[in-house]
Amino acid sequence: MKENLVMKIFKSHLVEGTLEQGKDIGLRVDETLLQDATGTMAALQFEAMGIPKVKVRKAFAFVDHNMLQTGFQNADDHRFLQTFSNKYGVYFSKPGNGICHQVYLERFSKPGTVLLGADSHTPNAGATGMIAIGAGGLDVAVAMAGMPYYTKMPAVVQVKLSGRLKPWVASKDIMFELLRRLTVKGGVGKIFEFTGDGVKTLSVPERATIANLGAELGATTSIFPSDQRVQEYYKLQKRPKDFKPLAADPDAGYDEVIEIALDKLAPMVARPSMPDKVVPVSEEEGKDVRQVCIGSCNNSSFDDLMLVGALLKGKKVHPDVNLTITPGSKQVFEMIAASGALQHMISAGARILEAACGPCIGMGQAPPSGSVSVRTMNRNFLGRSGTPDDRVYLASPYVATACALKGKIYDPRKIGAKPPIIQKTKSFIVDDSNIIKPSVKSDKVVVEKGPNIKPLPLRGELDDAITSVVLIKVGDNITTDHIMPAGARVLPFRSNIPAISDFVFYNIDPEFPKRAKQSGGGVIVGGSNYGQGSSREHAALAPMFLGVKAVIAKSYARIHRSNLINFGILPLIIKDQDAFTSIEQGDTIALENIREHVAKDDRMNVTLKDKNKTIEVYLDTNARERKILLSGGLLNMIKQEA
C-alpha cells in the first residue's frame, strides 16, 4: 500500500492504537526538547516520578527564553536546569548558544525521528523529514520517563507546491498564504506534508520557516521530505551520516490536498494582532514604522541574516526606526561576523541582540505605545511584545529590511529588480562546546534549586460535585498569552506557581487572580479555539492552583486541551450558541455526579443557579483521558499506577 511520509514515520513508532484519522494512538518518542521557560517545571515533574535517568534516545534542554537577568530568578533556573540535566542524562545548551529550534535543526535533527518538545514551535525540525510535535511540559516529562506520547491520529494534508518563488517573495509568504486561506484554526487536528516540484527549490532554512509557522495554523506539525537539500545541509553542518532519504511514495494518499503555485505569490504581511490577518504588503504601504525586529526562531538562520546584511550594506536605517537583529544561534552569530555581514548591520545602525527569543516573547524591546512594529517573528498577539496597545505586523526579512530603511511599510520589489545574490558558503563553523553532555557519574551530581523554585503543586482527585462562580467569560481565539502572559515581568516566576498565578489573565482582567482566590476557585468560559498559541502549561497549571475546576468553551486548541486534562481541569464543550450567550461572568453554576459522567464520557447538565436554567455540555474524552481526570491529573495517575 502506498504511504505518505507521515504514515511511514508514524507506523514505525506506533505502540498503541490504529493509524486511522481521529483514532487514539500512542507513539514512541525518540528525543525530547525542553527550554528554560517550560523546562524548569517539566524537570520538577520528571523528578517527581522518581526515575533515575531519562529513557529516550536523547533529551535536550536549552536556555533561550528567560535571558534577561535583572534578578537572581532566571540565573537560578538556568543553574537548576544545568545540574538537573547533568544528573538525569540530558544534553544542556548554555545561555548564548542559541534558540532551541535553530540549534536543534543545526546540530541534532535527523530524518525519521520523532521529537516531542515543550514548545509549540518544535515542528521547526520538520524541515528535515522529522515528526516534531509541540506539547505541554508534563507530556514531555512523561515521554522522558520512557512512556508513549498519546494523541489522536491527525488528518494528513498534502500541500503541493509548484513552480518557483519570484524575486522578493520569501518562503514565509507560502505560510502566509496558508494562514490567509485557512485561519489560525484551520490546522487543528491536521499535519501538513509538503510535496511537489516546488519543494526542491526551497533550502532547509526556508523549509524551517514554513514548518515553524505551521504552529500558527494550530497544526499538530508540518513535514518536508528528506532529500538532496537536506543532504547538502547536513554536509555543511559536518554530520553527513545523519542523512537518510525519506519521502512519500509516488501517488500516496492524503486526507486533503492543497495546491500552491509559488510563482503566483507576492510579498505579504500579517496585520495586527493575529497571524492570519494576511494581506499583500502593497495594501499596507505608507504606514509609519517605529520598530523593526528581525530574528527569533523564525528567520534567524545564516541565510536569512546574510540577506539582511547584504540589503543593509552601505545604507542607513531610517532615523525614526529602531532596528534589532537576533541571530538564531552562536553558529549563525560567528558566521555573519566572519562573513562581514555583521559589520554591514552595525554600520547601518542596527542593534544586535544575543542569540535568544528576546522580542518575540516580550523579553525586552517593547515598541513605543501605539506604534507599528514590523517583525519577522511568528506571533503578533496583542500585547505579546510588552506594549499593551502594540501594532505588530509579521513579515519576511525582505519586507522587514525594506521597512527599516524607508521608515514606512514598504514593498521590497520597489528596491530593485532582484535581491542581492548571496554567495553560498562551503562549510559552517561547528563548535559544540556550549552543549554540555550529561555526567557519567550522575550519583555524585547535586541538583541546585534556588529560593524561587517552589514545590510542584498538585490537586486531589476529581470532585463529584461543583458549585462555583463563572470567574471570567472570554471570546474566540483566546491565546495562552492572554491566559498566562510571557515577558520580562512574568517569565522569571515560571518555577514559582504561587507567584506566577497572580498574572493569570493579567492583560484581560488584572482582578482575575484576586477574584478566584476570594471565590475559592471557579469556572472559566471561552469561545472557539480556546488556548491557541504557546504550549505553556502554566496557562493550565496556574488556574488549577487558583482553584479553577472546569473550562466551558466552544472548542479547544490541541495542546491547551491536553494541558487542562493533565492538571485535572474539565475541558467541557458547549455547542448551543444560545446557551453560550446565556452564561455570564458572575453566574453561579452547578455540576453534579461528575465522576459518573466522566467515567462514561457522558453529556453533563450545568445548572445556572441564579437563572434557574440548565444547559448541556460535553466532554469528548478517551479512556486514558478519563482516567487522568478522575485521578485529578496525569502525575496523580502515574503515582497511583506506580
Catalytic (active-site) positions: 64-65, 119, 379, 534, 536
Cβ burial of 462 (10 Å; 0-12, 13-18, 19+) is buried
Give Cβ neighbours of residue 639 (< 8 Å, ≥ 6 apart): none
String of DSSP letters for 392-415:
EEEE-HHHHHHHHHHSB---GGGT
State the Cα angle at 366 between 361 and 372, rounded to 5°: 105
190, three cell numbers: 491536521
Three-state DSSP at 371 gives coil
Which residue in this structure is represented by grid cell 520569501? 170
Closest by CA position to 233, among listed 170, 333, 301: 301
What letters, b where the CB count within 10 A reaches 16 and e where it falls short, cover 546-567?
bbbbbbbbbbbbbbbbbbbbbb
Pairing of β 391-395 and β 435-436: unpaired
Task: Please tell me the distance from the alpha carbon of residue 619 to that of residue 638, in angstroms, as a whole number.
Answer: 22
State the Cα angle at 299 between 476 and 187, rounded to 5°: 35
Closest by CA position to 185, among listed 117, 254, 297, 275: 275
Three-state DSSP at 481 gives helix
**Phi and psi (nearest 5°) for 78?**
-60, -40
DSSP letter for 42, please.
H
Residue 518 CB neighbours (<10 A): 10
126, three cell numbers: 520538520
Cβ burial of 58 (10 Å; 0-12, 13-18, 19+) is middle
Beta-bridged to residue 436, according to DSSP, are 92
Starting at the edge strand that comes first in sequence, how are the strands of the sheet with 190-195 ordered?
Answer: 221-223, 190-195, 155-162, 256-261
What letters, b where the CB count within 10 A reaches 16 and e where it falls short, cover 570-604?
bbbbbeeeebbeebeeebbbebeebeebbeeeeeb
Contact yes or no for 32/54 (Cβ under 8 A): yes
Q: Give the chain's end-to-end CA distance (angstroms, integer).
A: 41
Beta-bridged to residue 131, according to DSSP, are 114
Give Cβ neighbours of residue 577 (< 8 Å, ≥ 6 apart): none
Which amino acid is located at 460 in the chain? G
Closest by CA position to 122, among listed 44, 186, 192, 213: 213
Inter-CA distances, 82 with 53, 71, 76, 119, 400, Å? 15, 18, 10, 18, 36
DSSP letter for 555, please.
-
What is the signed CA dihedral for 549, 554, 558, 559, rounded to 10 degrees? Answer: -30
Which amino acid is located at 39 in the chain? G
